[in-house]
């Protein structure tokens, strides 16, 4: 285990089981879709999306967006910057499935769903690996949820602290000494 990780919250086998279950749910719901597009929200979702797409049997395309949320303490969901947009001329034919690593305030996903619908997507749903419902600032429920977790600082499997730990194969709780001494 990485020396900065206090304990493993979700190990590799459990992650695999969670991703397998989510892929089965998505397979079932999108079996009649003519154009399913998985939209990876960079960077944290890269590892999750890579594993998830390998387990899908329905045909899918992939795309990426990069966004940042700010002012998450407000009651509105408009405080999101788009750094890399989804630029598809065929968006009206696309069933978009936004892939997230974690939902915290809910700001990012509640904004993105409205944004992509306004851009003309045929449908928009959301899939998150982790959910911290205790941190919500705006009401938001994902369509697919891997696991609810407590309000702890988690890293690994794509999630970072100061751009580190993304490559860990498990989700671990970061030792407070790492960020308290930063």
Active site residues: 104
Among 105, 121, 130, 142, binds ligand PRP (CB under 6 A): 105
* Subset of residues 64 to 83 that bind ligand PRP, contact rule: CB under 6 A: 68-69, 72
Q: Which residue is nearest to ligand PRP (CB)?
A: 44
Which phi and psi (to 5°) does residue 60 adopt?
Answer: -145, 155
Distance in angstroms (rounded) separating the CA atoms of residues 12 and 157: 9
Among 104, 113, 146, 165, binds ligand PRP (CB under 6 A): 104
Quickly count: other Cβ atoms within 10 Å of residue 78's Cβ: 12
Give the tokens for residue 56.
């899908």
Distance in angstroms (rounded) separating the CA atoms of residues 165 and 76: 31
The number of residues that bind ligand PRP (CB under 6 A) is: 17
Max Cα-Cα span within the chain: 52
The CA–CA distances, whole Å, from 105 to 11, 16, 117, 128 equal 25, 26, 21, 13
Among 10, 107, 154, 155, binds ligand PRP (CB under 6 A): 107
Distance in angstroms (rounded) separating the CA atoms of residues 22 and 177: 34
Residue 72 or residue 91: which is nearer to ligand PRP going by CB? 72
Among 9, 37, 44, 155, binds ligand PRP (CB under 6 A): 44
**Per CB under 6 A, which region of 17-25, 40-48, 53-61, 141-149 contacts ligand PRP?**
40-48
Determine if 98 is a binding residue for ligand PRP (CB under 6 A). no
Contacts with ligand PRP, residue ranges (CB under 6 A): 41-44, 68-69, 72, 100-108, 160
């Amino acid at each position: 285990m990485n020396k900065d990780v206090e304990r493993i919250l979700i190990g590799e086998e459990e992650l695999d089981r969670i991703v397998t279950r989510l892929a089965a749910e998505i397979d079932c719901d999108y079996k009649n879709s003519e154009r399913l597009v998985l939209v990876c929200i960079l960077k944290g979702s890269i590892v999750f999306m890579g594993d998830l797409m390998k387990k899908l049997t329905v045909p899918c395309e992939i795309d990426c967006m990069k966004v940042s949320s700010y002012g998450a303490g407000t009651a509105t969901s408009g405080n999101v910057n788009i750094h890399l947009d989804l630029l598809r001329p065929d968006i009206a034919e696309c069933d978009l499935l936004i892939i997230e690593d974690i939902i915290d305030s809910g700001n990012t996903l509640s904004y993105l769903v409205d944004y992509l619908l306004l851009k003309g997507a045929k449908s928009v749903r959301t899939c998150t690996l982790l959910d911290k419902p205790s941190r919500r600032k705006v009401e938001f429920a994902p369509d697919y949820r891997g696991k609810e977790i407590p309000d702890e600082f988690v890293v690994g499997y794509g999630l970072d602290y100061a751009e580190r730990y993304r490559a860990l194969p498990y989700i671990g709780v970061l030792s407070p000494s790492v960020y308290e001494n930063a």
